[in-house]
Every structure is written in structure tokens, then in C-alpha cells.
A and B are shown apart, each in its own frame.
Chain A
Amino acid sequence: MSLAKRAQHESRFIDDRLGSSGFLKTQLNKVFPDHWSFMLGEIALYSFIILLLTGVYLSFFFQASPAETIYNGSYVPLKGVTVSQAYATTLDISFDVRAGLVMRQIHHWSALLFVAAISVHLCRVFFTGAFRKPRELNWTIGVGLLTLGIVEGFLGYSLPDDLLSGTGIRIGYSIVQSIPFLGSWLGFLVFGGEYPGTEIIQRLYVIHILLIPGIILALISAHLAMVWHQKHTQFRGPGRTENNVVGSRLWPKYAANGSAYFFVVFAMCGLLGGLAQINPIWLYGPYDPANVSAASQPDWYMGWLDGSTRLFMPWEFRGAGVTLSPLFWPAIIMPGLIFTAMALYPTLEAKFTGDRQYHNLLDRPRDNPTRTAIGAASIGFYIVLWISGGNDVIASTFRISLNAMTWVGRIACITVAPITYIFTKRICIALQKRDEELRTHGIESGLIRQLPSGEFIEVSIPLPDPAPIELTPAEPIEEGPSGDGARREGTLVGRAGRAVSGFFVNRETGPPGS
């Protein structure tokens, strides 16, 4: 039987029982826009699959037990040392289990890539306004996936019970304890008693391999189902409207691209897993509450929290029989506020702009200067905290004073965001104006011509009619009374600006000579 005939036979077999052909016919012809930046979320999906596959392999060899054992594997510098079973089995995976270390390293690199991909995908969605109606719910699910990914990674690298991650668990316990009213009770609840107890590794294990992966799987399914049903957004361009999708059909092109990309992502994780050593727990030794290593950092996606904790001032409030630890603000309140604001952002933006329309066409970042500026300022703030999380390593590597780095971080985390906001907004408006120039006056040719009247004019080449759609703004440029493109009239900043600008220059007549 030829391949075509065989495939036909199989598909009719299934259709007889499930009625699948009609459904599949629709789905195979679904059109997906194929801009490269729409593939960034796929990186996260594929790394999650890699995490599941490698994680299953590891879970057969790992024992999440705190019971003490004397290590007797092949890593000589730890032979005879008393360690927990969790640490010993991780050493076994790294040194004695066949393909153990490569699977462990692929697992860890994929985890780092998972959160990195979510972050990049989030930025793409944010700066293009893809989260607007009808996709607000999908955005919130995405923020949930980001949070879960970060927590899952933290739990994962804490399982081996080594000195580096154990220090992080200790700090985590202190953060839980700092919660008002409930802190010490919650700490005893999570750890099964006073720190460190004997329960925590086993509990982290169950959450790491069962609970959170289950929730992530469910959320990813909902996330993809919504994208599927609502259809992907697309950039403005020739032939693209709010009411269509232009791209390639699922079968065969889009499916081929997607599977190809899966293998490419797997290839990157595989190469990293073999060629770049990650988390060499044997160098840190087993966890001991009395020991710590210099240059102790969490994995990259938690660096911003380490930074915020390092930078915060020693403000502890004591009175009326209660104490509010300085850990509470940078480690609980700040991330809580940020994640909540992120999750609610579509609603907040819709509220402040009064925008209740459907949006299937994407903005370019310049099309919405306020949103882009908010995003850029947030990234700037995040990067300051991120760098501060490694300030001791930077201080040691570049021979800078540690204390100076802390103070620079403290000042920067307050000043960088507003400065970035102002700069970014100005740049976006300027880019919009440049597009408008191109659209209305054409390209500058560099030629100057003198008219018979003696006047000099610049010759410009008009763009083809109709002008490229990309140059058309999504919405008109926000012009304010000062004519600089910033809509600020009614806001506090606007009123303050008016008060200030009239101080030096007469606002009615403008600067002298104009």
C-alpha cells in the first residue's frame, strides 16, 4: 500500500470513530502570522517540554531525603563527608549515572532559557500592545506563568541541598518570617517546625515535580487555546486589517516551522548542557547553616530580588510589641506590587486611555509613547536591581568599593526609571514625527533649489502613493498646547509644566524671534 493510501486509510479509521476530519480540515487551514518576533513565546514552550523530558530522567535517580549518609561516590574531594541523601544523589547523577550530568545540565540551562524566553516574549507583547482587548486574560495567564516559572526554578535548584542554594532557602525562610502577623507561623508551616527541620527538601520536591508543573501545563494549555481561538495578532502592513489574519497556514508551513524551531531550541539546550558547566554543586559542598561562600547569588531570574534586598535601607520598625523586619519591603511588598501591577496592566491601561475597542493589529512601540516609556522605565529599574544583585562580584572583579556600589544602586533605583521614561517618550514622539515628515514631505534628497523669487527650497522626493502602511500612525500624534507632542493638559504634570514654562517664556507669543 502506498504511503498516501495508508495515510488515507488511517485518517478514515479515526474519522469513523471521532468525526475528526471536519475539525482537522478547519484547523489545518488556520492562518498564523509568521513574523519572527511571534516565535519568542515558542521558545518558552519548547524549553518547558525539554524540562519535562529531562526532569523525568532526573527524578528516577534523585532522592529528596535529608537523611544523612556518608558520600562514597567517585568524586574524591567529598569522599567520606557526611551529606544529605539529596546532595549525595545529585552527586551520583553528576558523576556516576550515565548521561546524568548532561541531563542535569540541560535541565538547568533549559530552566534559565524558559524564564528568559518568557521575559522576552512578555516584552514583545507589551511593547506591541498585544495584550489589549480581547487578550487581557491571556496576558494575566502569562504573568502567572512567569511567576510560576521563577518559583519553579528556585525550587529546582534548591533540591540538591548544596551550600549555595541552601543559603537561598535560609533567606527564603527569613523572608517568610518577616510577614506581619503570620510570618513565624507560616515559616513553621512551610518548614515543619523551626528552621531547617527535616521536611523542606521533600516538600520542595513534591511542589517542583508535581504541583507547579501541573499548574503550568494547565495554564500553557489555556494560553495556547486562547491564542488559537482568538487568532494571533499581526503588525500593520499590506493587506492586513483588523478583520483578517495574513500569514501561512498551519499545514504544512507553520507546523514545519514550529517543529523545526523546537529542534533548534533543543539543540541550543543540548549544546549548552554539554559544553557549559552549570551549578557545580560539588565545589560548594553540602549545605551547612554555619557556612557560606562569598559571591552567593541566586539564579539570574531572582537576581533582581537579591538586589532589592541588598539595596534596601536598614529600616526596621519596632513598637507596641511588634517588629517589622526590613526584609518585608524589598522581598514581599515590592515584588507583590510589581507582579500585581503587571497582571492588571491591560485593565489599567484600558481604564486610563478609555480604549474599549478590539485590537488585532499591533502597535509599533513608537505608536504608543506612554506605554513604551513605562515599559522602558520598568526595564531600567529591573536592570538596576539585577546588577545590584551581583554587586559584590562586580566590586571584586573591577576593584570597585562594595559600599560605593551599594550607594550607586540605591540612587540609581530611584533615578533611572524616571529618566528612562522621559527619554523614551521623547524618542518615540520624535520617531513618530519623522514618519510624519516622510509621509507628508517625502524623502530629503539633499538638493537645494533656488526659486526665481530668490527663496531657497529643499527638494524632497515624495513617497509612492499610497504610502507604506507602516508609516501611518495607528492613532494621531498626541499634541499638547506646547506643540511638542505630549498630551499633558489635564494631568498634574501638564499643569505643573504650564506653570513652569510660562515663567521664562511668554507662552502666548513663544520665544523671541518665532
Chain B
Amino acid sequence: MSDSDNRETGPDSPNSPEGADRGWETGGSVFDRSKTGSGAAATGGGAGSGEQALLPAGTSRGTDRAKTAPVPAFVGPYATILAREEHPDREEVDRRSYRRGVRLVTFWFALAGVAAVAFIVLNFAGDVHKEYYTPVLGICIGVAMAGLGFGLVVWNKRLMPDEEAVQERHPLHSSPDDVVAFEEDFARGYQETGVGRHKVLRRTLLAAAGLLGLAPLAMIFNFGSIPHGELQVTRWTRGARLATRDGVALRLGDLPIGGIATVYPAIPDQNGKFVALTDNQTAADSTVMLIRLRPGEDQPVPGRETWSVEGHVAYSKICTHAGCPVGLYERTTQHLLCPCHQSTFLVTQHCLPIFGPAARPLPQLPIAVDADGYFIAQSDFIEPVGPSWWSRT
């Protein structure tokens, strides 16, 4: 069993006699060798040796093919093949199963080809507006890829010889000589630069490099602007009308009891015509929910009794938690629910948060009714709308 002993400890000697005549190192092209399929069969190995057996007796990989004496098929400095199935040859009994394997692989590849062609045809001839278009394209891609993949897998499993190879791991760290030599080289080189000796050189180099590194950082700041109070204000001003997204300014009586409307500020232009600001930039902080409560239902914060008109109250729609629009109004329970993280606000109590992660009530917009019956804002919100930030006052 000396052969096995050598194999167990790995290929210390690249030119072990058993390996030399396996054709690997005796010249000739790799491709020639692969064509003739050289390599004697070997399964099992190392049985009964005193040291740790590489494969316990009776272990076999793959199907039960003819087993010869445990001679490795392949030895070299890079890998040792422990066990290799007998390569199915045309003259062998397993010829039929081999041919079946070939047929199966051919089938898969053919299927892949058909699917690829179908994809190409559909790409040109398919009607992109029909409902079959995308699904059939996806099926073509899927079948083509699966055909290739399954074909390769079956080829691998049935037509290529099974093997179990062993390769030695070399220690990852370098030899102590190399480690020392590297450190010495580096240290010597560092010494030769003289950086260690000249404090001024070192410091000016660091300063220059650091400042140069700051330069691109400075450019990053070109991306943004410095907040100058934009977060504190919205587009609501005194006298702004409450308009729907269609631009229609709402009047007293437009909303029934239990009704809500999402409103935007409408500012008079130079001709005095009220224009609703419904663009995204305005909507992001100025969207307001106008809600009509039953008479007597509202319990305003002391001092804010004049902020509502005949049960109509107006609150910012921007959630104070993370900024989603708080749109879910429950008419009978007076809950205003935000769908993002389920913060719940109680409308009759100045939109106080009663559940969920929001910590502040929705800011209230003071509203009144002008001489023509239109709802107007008395002023902007008295606090910033939306989620909190560090320097929020």
C-alpha cells in the first residue's frame, strides 16, 4: 500500500515514479490526452492504513462501476486524483446508459436552441401590445437558459468521469525569511526617503496631501444648498385661499359634515386671480387636509378657538413622523391614520398622535372665511410642518 501512503500525505515529490508514466508530464498536448481519455480507473483508496484513511473501505463515489486496484489516475504537483470512475467507453456494458445520456443532453441543447430562435422571432414579429408578449418572451429566455444549463449538468453527471481530487494547502503566510526580508526592504526604503528624519518634510507632505484630499470633498458641497429657513415656512400666507387640485377654491358649504378635502394654497397673481399652487415642490410641504366636523365636536387648543370655522378645521397633511401624506380619515372615530407607519392622530383634539411612532401633533393651519365665503388662511403655520430635525425650533 505504499502508493496510497504517498497519496495520503500529498504530493511532496512531484516526480514520484507512479505518476511519471501517466502521460501528464511526458509531453504531448493536453488536448490529445483528453481525446484518448487516458487514465486507468481507480476507486477507493487507502483502505486499512494505520493513519487516517482517505476514503474508508467500501466508499465509492458515483455509480458502481468496475473497480480496479486503488491506483490514482493522476498525480502532479498541483492535484492528486484520489478516485476516478472508469471512463465509459463505447465497448463497455454501460454503453446504453451513456448513449441515453448523450440523447438527453442533445435534447436539452436542442430545446435551448429552439427557444432561442423563438425569442429572436418573437422579438421581431411579436406584438408588443398583446398580453402574451412578455410572458412568452420570458418563457423563451427561461427555456433557452434552462436547456443550456440542464444540458451541461446532465453532461457533467453522466458523460464526464466522476472524480475526487485532493490538493494540498500550502501555508498562507510567507516563509519567515521572506517576511523578515520584506520588512527589512521596506524599512530600508523608508529610511532612504528620509521622511522619518525631516519633520518639516513629513508635516508639509501630510498637510499638502490632506488639503488636496479635501478638494473633492469641497466639490461635493456643490451638490446642495445650505438651509436658510426654507424648512420653517410653507407657501401658505395670509389670505391664501384653500383650493383643490383642480384649482377650485372651496367655500363655506362645499363640504358636507364628515367630508374632507386635500387643499393647496391659492395665491392671487398680478391680475388678482387666485392661482392654486399644486406643483410637487409646494405640495411637499403645503398640502393641507380640510375636514368638516360636526358642530361642537372639535375641542380646540385654548387660544385656537378662532382657527376653525363652523366645524371646519385645517391640518397639515404631511406626517410629523416621516413625511408621508396622512390621508386616511375615519369619519366616525375621527382618527387620521398615516398608512406608512400607522401613526394615528385624533382630529377632534388638534390631531394629537394617539398611536404609532409619531411624536408631535399635525400642525394646524388657522383658517377663516372671507367676505365672498371662500376659505382663507389667516397666516402660515406657526410651527414647521413635517418630520423633526435637529435644529427644529
Contact = CB atoms under 8 A, between A and B. Distances in A.
Are chains A and B touching directly in their complex (CB below 8 angstroms)? Answer: yes
Interface of A: 4, 7-8, 25-26, 29-31, 74, 95-102, 105-106, 134, 167, 170-171, 173-175, 177-185, 187-197, 199, 203, 230-231, 238-239, 241-249, 252-253, 256-257, 259-264, 266-268, 270-275, 287-296, 306, 309-316, 321-327, 330, 358, 360, 391-392, 402-403, 406, 464, 466, 468
A267 B142 contact: yes
Contacts of A289: 280, 283-284, 287, 318, 325
A192 B245 CA distance: 26
Interface in B302-330: 317-318, 321-325, 327-328
A289 B280 CA distance: 6
A267 B145 contact: yes
B358 to A, nearest CB: 6
A483 to B, nearest CB: 32
B138 A327 contact: no
A193 B359 contact: no
Nearest to A181: B390
B249 interface: no
Nearest to A186: B224
A240 B341 CA distance: 52
Q: Which of A31, A262, A296, A406 is packed against the most chain B CB atoms within 10 Å?
A: A31
B121 to A, nearest CB: 12
B35 A196 contact: no
10 contacts: A182-B390, A194-B231, A246-B164, A248-B165, A273-B141, A274-B141, A275-B138, A290-B283, A314-B321, A392-B342
B169 A245 contact: yes
Contact of A203 (B76, B160, B166, B223): B223
Nearest to B169: A243
Nearest to B327: A292
A238 B59 contact: yes
Given A178-B387, A178-B388, A253-B160, A189 B224 contact: yes
B224 A309 contact: no
Interface stretch (B15-23, B250-258, B349-357): B349-357
B391 to A, nearest CB: 7
Contacts of A239: 46, 52-55, 82, 164, 166
A321 B146 contact: no
Given A174-B323, A238-B55, A246-B165, A99 B137 contact: yes
B363 to A, nearest CB: 14
B324 A268 contact: no
B382 interface: no
Contacts of A360: 169
Contacts of B285: 194-195
A323 B392 contact: yes
B79 A249 contact: yes
B220 interface: yes
Contacts of A261: 149
Contacts of A294: 328, 339
A26 B357 CA distance: 60
B146 A290 contact: no
A184 B391 contact: yes
A4 B29 contact: yes
Given A26-B78, A325-B389, 9 more contacts: A8-B29, A245-B167, A246-B82, A274-B134, A274-B136, A306-B341, A310-B342, A312-B357, A392-B342
A203 B136 CA distance: 35
A107 to B, nearest CB: 12
A102 B150 CA distance: 23
Interface residues of B, number: 99
Contact of A314 (B143, B223, B225, B358): B358
B5 interface: no
Contact of B172 (A134, A193, A392): A134
Given A288-B280, A324-B390, A273 B165 contact: no
Interface stretch (B151-159, B194-202, B266-274, B290-298): B151-159
A192 B220 CA distance: 11
A310 B342 CA distance: 7
A287 B166 CA distance: 58
Given A248-B165, A260-B156, A406 B356 contact: yes
B387 A325 contact: yes
A262 B230 CA distance: 52
B27 interface: no
A289 B55 CA distance: 67
A105 B134 CA distance: 9
A266 B147 CA distance: 11
Contact of A4 (B31, B56, B226, B393): B31
Nearest to A176: B389
Contact of B323 (A171, A257, A306, A391): A171
Nearest to B164: A246
A99 B169 contact: no
A77 to B, nearest CB: 14
Contact of B128 (A95, A260, A292, A296): A95
A395 to B, nearest CB: 9
Contacts of B56: 238, 464, 466, 468
A245 B32 CA distance: 28
Interface in B216-232: 220-221, 223-227, 230-231
Interface string B203-222: 00000000000000000110
A450 B247 CA distance: 97
Contacts of A253: 156, 160, 163
A259 B152 contact: yes
A267 B143 contact: yes
A184 B227 contact: yes
Nearest to B137: A102
B176 interface: no
B237 interface: no
A323 B389 contact: yes
Q: Which of B220, B280, B281, B393 is packed against the most chain A CB atoms within 10 Å?
A: B280
A247 B164 contact: yes
B132 to A, nearest CB: 10
Contacts of A196: 280-281, 284
Contacts of A177: 387-389
Contacts of B46: 239
* Chain A to chain B: the 5 pairs with minimum beta-carbon distance, closest first: A274-B138, A263-B149, A189-B224, A270-B141, A271-B142
Contacts of B70: none
A329 to B, nearest CB: 10
A306 B224 CA distance: 27
A321 B393 contact: yes
B51 to A, nearest CB: 11
A292 B325 CA distance: 6
Interface string B13-56: 00000000000000001011001000000000010000011111
A260 B149 contact: yes
A325 B359 CA distance: 8
